[in-house]
């Protein structure tokens, strides 16, 4: 498995715990966060940091969204013909977990 986690300011306590546990268990993981995350470099993970500060009252998550779009495009390309089967498995899991209302 490969865990992809995102967390931005004000930083979730659970995100740090995920990073710690994944590191302790030797699970491969990527953290997508802003450049201000104070603990992002504390773990041996794949770290993708983007600048979200716009100089306004609220940060912009647009850079995070762009990064996810690029990552998703790469995953789709890498999966190639295996994508439909993978999507079918994901849809089944979404139903089992009750992720979406019917």
Average pLDDT of the chain?
92
Tokens of 43: 């773990």
Show the domains of the chain with their CATH numbers.
Answer: 2-97 (3.40.50.10490)
If you search the block for the tokens 């899991």, which residue do you land on? Answer: 93
Cα separation, 28 vs 4, whole angstroms = 9
- pLDDT at residue 12 in the model: 87
> How many other C-beta atoms can be found within 10 angstroms of the C-beta atom of residue 53?
13
Between CA 78 and CA 3 the distance in angstroms is: 17
A 10 A CB-CB count for 16 gives: 19
Per-residue model confidence as pLDDT tens digits over 27-67: 999 999 999 999 999 999 999 999 998 988 888 999 999 99
């Amino acid at each position: 498995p490969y865990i992809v986690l995102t967390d931005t300011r004000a930083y979730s306590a659970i995100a740090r715990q995920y990073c710690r546990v994944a590191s302790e268990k030797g699970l491969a993981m990527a953290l997508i966060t802003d450049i201000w995350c104070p603990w992002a470099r504390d773990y041996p993970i794949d770290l993708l940091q983007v600048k979200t500060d716009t100089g306004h009252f609220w940060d912009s998550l647009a850079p995070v969204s762009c990064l996810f779009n690029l990552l998703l495009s790469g995953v789709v390309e890498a999966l190639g013909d295996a994508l439909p089967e993978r999507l079918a498995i994901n849809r089944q899991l979404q139903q089992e977990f009750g992720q979406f209302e019917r």
